[in-house]
Amino acid sequence: MTVRRSHEERRREIADAALRIIATRGITALTVATLARELGLTGGALYRHYPSTDAIMEAVAVRAAELLDASLPEPSLEPLVWLERFVESRSRTISGHFGVARLLLSEQLALALPPGGRERIQESVRKTMMAIQRTLLAGQEQGLIRTDLRAADLVPIIVGTVQMLVHAQAGTVLQNLSIPARSWATLKTLLSVPGDSRS
C-alpha cells in the first residue's frame, strides 16, 4: 500500500530534490523536467504543488533557510559549547544538503532566485552572523574568550572553518567525526584566553 504524502511533505520533498540537483548538477540542470524525473512525477504534478518555476525556486530558498536556521544551537548554551555545537551542526547540515552551500556561495545561483528567496537566504545568513557575534561577545564578557581580538573579526574565521569542512567533504554527510572535532579544537585554541588552563 502506498502512503500518500501531505501537500506540505510533498512540497518539502520537491525543494529537497531541487537542492540535490543544484548540488550535483548545478543550477542550469534544474528544470521542471529534471525535477519531475528526480521525483518520479510529471511536470503537471509539480505544478499542482507550485504554480511556477519561480515558486519552486522560492521554495528552494525557503528550505535552505530553514535548514540553516535549524542548525543554530540553543542560545542558552555556554558560549564555547554553543560555538562547538554550531561548527558541528552547521557542517553536518550543509554537508548533507550540499545544494545549500552552492546557494550561499554562488553568485549565479543567487541571481537565479526570485527576490523574496534571495532576501530569505540573506536574512538567514545575517541571523547566523549575529548569533555567532553575540555568542563571542558573551564569551568575552564571561572571560572564556580572548578579548584582544574583536568578536566581529572572529566571526568570518568561524564561518570560514565551517565552509572548509563542508567543501572538504565534497557534499557528503560527515562520516568522520574527528574532522570537525579537530577543527573545533584548533578554533577553541584560537578563541581561548591565552594562558587559560581550561583551553
- DSSP string of 143-167, one letter each residue: TSB-SSS-HHHHHHHHHHHHHHHHH
Evaluate whether residue 20 is within a structural domain: yes
Evaluate whether residue 2 is within a structural domain: no
Q: Give me the residues of the chain with pLDDT under 50, please.
A: 1, 171-174, 199
**Interior/surface letters 99-110, b for 16+ CB within 10 angstroms, e for the rest:** bbbbbbeeeebb
Q: In this predicted structure, what is the pLDDT of residue 178?
A: 57
State CA 96 to chain mean position distance. 9
What is the residue range of 153's domain? 7-191
Instruction: Give φ, ψ of 30 to 5 degrees.
Output: -85, 95
The total domain count for the chain is 1
Evaluate whether residue 199 is within a structural domain: no
Q: In this predicted structure, what is the pLDDT of residue 54?
A: 87
Q: In this predicted structure, what is the pLDDT of residue 75?
A: 94
Separation of alpha carbons 175 and 21, rounded Å: 22
Evaluate whether residue 24 is within a structural domain: yes
Q: In this predicted structure, what is the pLDDT of residue 2?
A: 53
Separation of alpha carbons 154 and 116, rounded Å: 30
Evaluate whether residue 1 is within a structural domain: no
Evaluate whether residue 196 is within a structural domain: no
Evaluate whether residue 185 is within a structural domain: yes
pTM value is: 0.83
Contact 100, 94 (CB under 8 A): yes
Q: In this predicted structure, what is the pLDDT of residue 173?
A: 47
Evaluate whether residue 74 is within a structural domain: yes
Q: Is 96 exposed, middle or buried (0-12, 13-18, 19+ CB in 10 A)?
A: middle
Query: Which CATH number covers residue 92?
Result: 1.10.357.10
